[in-house]
Amino acid sequence: MNKPKVYFMDARSESPDTSLINKTITVFEAAGFDKMIKKGDVVAIKMHCGELGSSAYIRPAYVRAIADKIKEMGGRPFACDTTTQTYGTWGSRVTELDLIETAERNGFSSATLGCPFISADGYVGTSDYRVDIPEGYLLKEAYIAQAIAAADKVIVLTHFKGHGMGVIGGALKNLGIGCQSKRGKFNVHMGRHPSYGIGDSTVFHPENFKGKEKDADWELLENCCPLGLFKVTDDDELLWEREKCINCLGCGSWMNPRGIFEPNLANFDATDIAIADGALGVIKAVGKENIGFINVAVDVSPKCDCAGFSDVPLVPHLGVFASKDPVAVDQACVDAAKNAPGMPGSLAEEMGIDAPGERKFDLGGGAIEGLSEQTTINTGVVNGLGSRDHEIVNVQPLGRDRFAFPPDPRPTKIRFEKMFEKFQPFPFDKHNGRGYNRLDKVDIDAVKGHDGPTVNPHSHKDAAYHGDGGWHPGDDDSSFKPRSSSNGDDKKTD
Amino acid sequence: MGRAQDLLEKAMGNMNTLLENQEFNGRFKSGLEKLELQKDKFFFQSLAGLPSANKLFKATEKMIPECNESNMLEIEKIIQEIDDKADAPGTVLT
């Protein structure tokens, strides 16, 4: 059997055609995604718009470039993300309204993307399409966001990074969590699962609750659950209706540090397995021939874009990867990160995993010890989603003439000659054709030293600008008045 | 025992050895008392505490051959960081 191909370009850039955005388009074409799109196809671009506060999420310019390419092929693109479970106490993408507002704050709108940005699973997150997945390792059904299931083609455009629960945030997670509706996310996160659900498997230590007086944030223990399952009684007893817990993860950051919850590693492992099954559900809903994957492995932050912050990247930029196989494309990124040196000053260094050859995400991504960057990938092999084994194809740049400014790709003379004749922006008529009032020569070396200038600074009292020991405001301009002039008494002093 | 707890134990072991130094004995005792209160918390059971444990271990290793005020201050700074972080919410699961 042929190994799946992963089309790759590294992160170095020294010309317009090797810009990372244009490399993304280059691998898009190399992987044949342009040929996949037919005239009239509605094409979903599944991306992660970033939780409020995160800064490493994919830049809108990448999405725009893909949207432009899809339109060039005759397709009708839309960009999308999905609503979240809640995950935390102050989630910023929990409803469609939250999601759109956060996306706009983070720079994603029809104005920036050249196509609409929508919530793929509706207002609350219940607009979905159920698929059976008998091949699933753990899940046997999945709920796919409606707009993704309804699209003719899907481009899964992923910012590759680490993830607290999923360990890696790659194409598989963009499918297995990102393309699931909110309802589907509860399924993948093991809500109400008899062995792996938080309600059934977490060891609960209510005795570690210190009481209202000693815990200034005690009200948050009640208010962090969307179902209101926690209650602090008048006797300072913390009650939890655990049998109703749906694994929204809203309470973990309050209960875990207090020792009230003893998290169960199996819940995390099971979720990582389920991510691959959820991903398979998307492929079944959309069709393998209708979907392509691009991983942009830059700003490889330890935690996901859903965390609300972005730490120093674990490794330097790795490059862009494209494939028809989501397992292969994620494995290629994991391998590249493993082989890369850790970024100085990053969590990789603090964790002691900065040497090339060290797995970067087991400790750098995962929230608790014992998780593996391979769990989801290996499950994707087992459930038939794809192959770890792959062939890297190094793609060559397409040439700078392919990447002209899309709204007006004509060269400079043709675009501007007439305009500049009419509206000459350079004042040729001033200063003997030199245009501007400038000194002929200055001591350049005097301001190049790292430890500061070697000439004395001038007073700013009256000078609008200075540079040669004297000052020359409006040398040949009788209308010039120094900035400090308020009563007309200011005089030239040189 | 998890990696963070293991490293913390090693750091505390180093600090116990360093108790022999009369000049810093009191400050090491006080540091050890603080760490004793934190070592079984989720912060060290999870990976959240691993960078701090790692830093503390390295700082104590440095202190053994070079027992001076500057290195002592570094250790105390890390212990203070641990105190500040250990009970703070924010374990990132997602």
Please, is A207 exposed, middle or buried when counting C-beta atoms within 10 Å of its C-beta (0-12, 13-18, 19+)? exposed
* Residues B93, A252: C-beta atoms closer than 8 Å: yes
Nearest CA in chain B to A89: B90
Q: How far is A145 from chain B (nearest CA, A)?
A: 19
Contact by Cβ (8 Å): A141, A131: yes
Query: What is the tens place of the pLDDT at every residue in A283-308?
Result: 999 999 999 999 999 999 999 999 99
Distance CA B8, CA B48 (A): 13
CB contacts < 8 Å between A and B, how many?
78
Could you tell me if residue B65 is inside a domain?
yes
For residue A479, pLDDT beyond 60: no
pLDDT value of position A474: 52
* Residues B4, A369: C-beta atoms closer than 8 Å: yes
Across A56-61, average pLDDT: 98
Residue A478 pLDDT grade (very low, low, confident, very high; cuts 50, 70, 90) = low
Angle between helices B25-38 and B3-18 (to 10 degrees): 160
pLDDT value of position B41: 86
Question: Which residue's structure tokens are 């792959």?
Answer: A390
Could you tell me if residue B31 is inside a domain?
yes
pLDDT value of position A390: 98
Query: What is the tens place of the pLDDT at every residue in A229-277?
Result: 999 999 999 999 999 999 999 998 899 888 899 888 999 999 999 999 9
DSSP A180: B
This prediction has a pTM of 0.89
pLDDT value of position A470: 52
ipTM of the complex: 0.77
Across A99-119, average pLDDT: 98
Q: Which candidate in A351, A353, A362 is best for mutational testing of the B interface (most B CBs within 10 A)?
A: A351
pLDDT value of position A257: 86
Which of A342, A339, A369 lies closest to A353, judged by CA?
A: A342
Q: Cβ of A307 under 8 Å from any chain B Cβ?
A: yes
Query: What is the tens place of the pLDDT at every residue in A223-237?
Result: 999 999 999 999 999
Question: What is the percent of chain A with per-residue pLDDT over 90, rounded to a whole number?
Answer: 87
Q: How far is B6 from chain A (nearest CA, A)?
A: 12
Nearest CA in chain B to A215: B87
Distance CA A276, CA A136 (A): 8
Could you tell me if residue B69 is inside a domain?
yes
**Which of the two residues, A352 and A179, has the higher pLDDT score?**
A179
Helix and strand totals (H; E) in chain A: 17, 16
Could you tell me if residue B92 is inside a domain?
no
* Residues A369, B48: C-beta atoms closer than 8 Å: no
Residue ranges of chain B whose pLDDT lies below 50: none
Q: Which domain holds residue B35?
A: 3-86
Distance CA A86, CA A125 (A): 11
* Residues A253, B92: C-beta atoms closer than 8 Å: yes
Which of A177, A3, A132, A203 lies closest to B93, judged by CA?
A: A177
Q: Cβ of A191 under 8 Å from any chain B Cβ?
A: no
Please give the radius of gyration of chain A, using alpha carbons only, rounded to the nearest integer.
Answer: 28
Chain A residues inside the 8 Å CB shell of B45:
368-369
Q: Cβ of A398 under 8 Å from any chain B Cβ?
A: no
Query: What is the tens place of the pLDDT at every residue in A318-334?
Result: 999 999 999 999 999 99
Indicate the number of domains in chain B. 1
Could you tell me if residue B93 is inside a domain?
no
* Residues A259, B54: C-beta atoms closer than 8 Å: no
pLDDT value of position A492: 39
For residue A134, pLDDT beyond 60: yes
pLDDT value of position A468: 54
Could you tell me if residue B94 is inside a domain?
no
Distance CA A282, CA B73 (A): 54
Could you tell me if residue B14 is inside a domain?
yes
pLDDT value of position A487: 43
Distance CA A275, CA A271 (A): 6
Query: What is the tens place of the pLDDT at every residue in A6-36?
Result: 999 999 999 999 999 999 999 999 999 999 9
pLDDT value of position B91: 59
* Residues B92, A367: C-beta atoms closer than 8 Å: yes
Chain A residues inside the 8 Å CB shell of B3:
363, 369
Which of A293, A292, A345, A286 lies closest to A316, judged by CA?
A: A345
Could you tell me if residue B55 is inside a domain?
yes
